[in-house]
Structure 1
């Protein structure tokens, strides 16, 4: 009879667990930073759009348009 050889993965060590946790923390920090940068870009775009209004009525119209999108 032929013996079947099973490949068993070794259990991760404590150091490997710590490295994985560190890696996940870095990924989440990068995602938070990307969200912050995108939020700043959106605010900048809206500020530019609103500041290009020629009068108060146009500004109010643009503000209502932005609020309706949100």
Structure 2
């Protein structure tokens, strides 16, 4: 019984870890989209896009 509970704990942890990763990824994409959307002109947009690609 104890081994079963430990194994279920690992499965639950892996699932929660995956869910947290998805939520954080969505939040990062939202921040990036807002940052790019606030550009004043196409030149600034291109500079920001290159900067983001360089960080990845």
TM-score between both structures, scaled by the size of structure 1? 0.75
In the aligned structure 2, how far is the partner of 1:18 from the partner of 1:44? Answer: 39
Q: Unpaired runs of 5+ in structure 2?
A: none
Segments ≥4 residues shifted beyond 3 Å: none
Higher RCO, 1 or 2 (CA under 8 Å, sep at least 6)?
2
Please say which structure displays the higher CA radius of gyration: 1
TM-score by length of structure 2 reads 0.92
| Partner Cα separation in structure 2 for residue 51 and residue 24 of structure 1 | 41
